[in-house]
Structure 1
Amino acid sequence: MTQVKSPDSYELFAEGTLREPHEFWASLRSQCPVFPTEEGIGYYVISRYADVTAVLRDTETFSSELSRRFKGGVSAYEDSPAVKEVLADACPYVGTLNFTDGPRHAAQRRAVRRGFTVARVRALEELISNIVDELLDDLPSNEEVDIVPRLSVPLPVRVITHILGLDADKAAQVKRWGDAQVARFGHPRESEEENLEIARTIVEMHQYIIGQLEAREKEPRDDFLSDLLAGAEGVSRQELVLICAQLIVAGAESTASMISSLIDQLVDHPDQLAALRADRSLIPDAVEETLRFESPIKAAYRFTTRDVEIGGSVIPANSVCLVLLGSADRDDDVYDSAGRFDISTTEGRPNHVAFGMGAHLCSGAALARAEGRIVLEKLLDRTSDIRRIRRPEPRHEADLTVRSLHSLPLVFVTAT
Structure 2
Amino acid sequence: MTKPKLKFSPVSQDYFDNPYEIYKRMREEAPIYYDEEEDFYALTRHEDVAAALKDTDAFSSSRGCDLGMVRSEEGPQKSIIFMDPPEHRHMRSLLNKAFTPRAIQSQRETVIEVVEHYLSKCDPDGFDVVQDFSGPFPVEVITRMAGVPEEFRQQVRHWIDTSLEREPGQIELSEKNMQANIDSGIYYYGLVQERRENPQDDMISRLIAAEIPGPDGAMRKLDDIEITGFCALLGGAGAETVTKLIGSAVVEFARHPEQWQLLLDDRSKVGDAVEELLRYVGPVQYNVRYTLKEAHLPSGTVPAHKPVFIMKAAANRDPRAYDRAEEFDITRDRTQSPHMGLGYGIHSCLGAALARLESVIALEHLLDFMPRYEVVWDGLHRVTMQNVAGYHNVPVRVLK
TM-score normalised over the length of structure 1: 0.87
Q: For residues 167-191 of structure 1, what are the alpha-carbon distances to aligned partners after superposition, in whole Å with 9 as ceiling and x for unaligned?
A: 11112310122123323xx667879
Q: For residues 124-170 of structure 1, what are the alpha-carbon distances to aligned partners after superposition, in whole Å with 9 as ceiling and x for unaligned?
A: 111111111111110112x1221110011101121122111111111
1:240 to 227, 231, 246: 227
* 1:204 paired residue number: 183
| AA partner of residue 59 (structure 1) | T
2:137 to 136, 140, 155: 155
1:129-278 correspondence runs (5 A):
129-141=112-124, 143-183=125-165, 195-233=174-212, 234=220, 235-278=222-265
> Is contact 1:43-1:320 (8 Å) kept?
yes
1:306 to 278, 284, 293: 293
| Structure 2 gap segments, 5+ residues each | 213-219
How far has the Cα of 1:400 moved from its partner?
4.2
> Residue 297 of structure 1: SS of its match in structure 2?
coil
Root-mean-square deviation (CA, aligned residues, Å) is 2.6
Most deviating of 163-172 and 332-341: 163-172
1:11-410 correspondence runs (5 A):
11-38=9-36, 42-66=39-63, 75-77=66-68, 93-141=76-124, 143-183=125-165, 195-233=174-212, 234=220, 235-392=222-379, 395-410=381-396
Q: Within 2, Cα distance between the matches of 1:239 and 1:342?
A: 41
> Using a 3 Å threshold, how does the CA distance of structure 1 residues 190 and 9 change in structure 2: closer, same or farther?
closer
| AA partner of residue 68 (structure 2) | Y
> Is contact 1:267-1:388 (8 Å) kept?
yes
> Is contact 1:7-1:27 (8 Å) kept?
no
> Residue 27 of structure 2: SS of its match in structure 1?
helix
> Is contact 1:288-1:346 (8 Å) kept?
no
Q: Within 2, Cα distance between the matches of 1:268 and 1:232?
A: 49
How far has the Cα of 1:4 moved from its partner?
9.5
Count of paired positions: 392
> Is contact 1:4-1:27 (8 Å) kept?
no
> Using a 3 Å threshold, how does the CA distance of structure 1 residues 227 and 113 change in structure 2: closer, same or farther?
same
> Is contact 2:270-2:363 (8 Å) kept?
yes
Q: Within 1, Cα distance between the matches of 2:338 and 2:227?
A: 31
> Using a 3 Å threshold, how does the CA distance of structure 1 residues 79 and 354 change in structure 2: closer, same or farther?
closer
> Residue 331 of structure 2: SS of its match in structure 1?
helix
How far has the Cα of 1:10 moved from its partner?
4.9
Q: Within 2, Cα distance between the matches of 1:77 and 1:135?
A: 36
Q: Within 2, Cα distance between the matches of 1:355 and 1:117?
A: 17
How far has the Cα of 1:356 moved from its partner?
1.4
> Using a 3 Å threshold, how does the CA distance of structure 1 residues 38 and 156 change in structure 2: closer, same or farther?
farther
Q: For residues 10-33 of structure 1, what are the alpha-carbon distances to aligned partners after superposition, in whole Å with 9 as ceiling and x for unaligned?
A: 544311212311111101000100
How far has the Cα of 1:311 moved from its partner?
4.3
> Residue 377 of structure 2: SS of its match in structure 1?
coil
> Using a 3 Å threshold, how does the CA distance of structure 1 residues 78 and 350 change in structure 2: closer, same or farther?
closer
Q: Within 2, Cα distance between the matches of 1:373 and 1:115?
A: 21
| AA partner of residue 398 (structure 2) | F
| AA partner of residue 175 (structure 2) | L
| Structure 1 gap segments, 5+ residues each | none
Q: Within 2, Cα distance between the matches of 1:389 and 1:18?
A: 20
> Residue 139 of structure 1: SS of its match in structure 2?
coil
> Using a 3 Å threshold, how does the CA distance of structure 1 residues 359 and 31 change in structure 2: closer, same or farther?
same
> Using a 3 Å threshold, how does the CA distance of structure 1 residues 224 and 187 change in structure 2: closer, same or farther?
farther
> Residue 353 of structure 1: SS of its match in structure 2?
coil
Q: Within 2, Cα distance between the matches of 1:209 and 1:368?
A: 22
| AA partner of residue 372 (structure 1) | S
How far has the Cα of 1:203 moved from its partner?
1.4
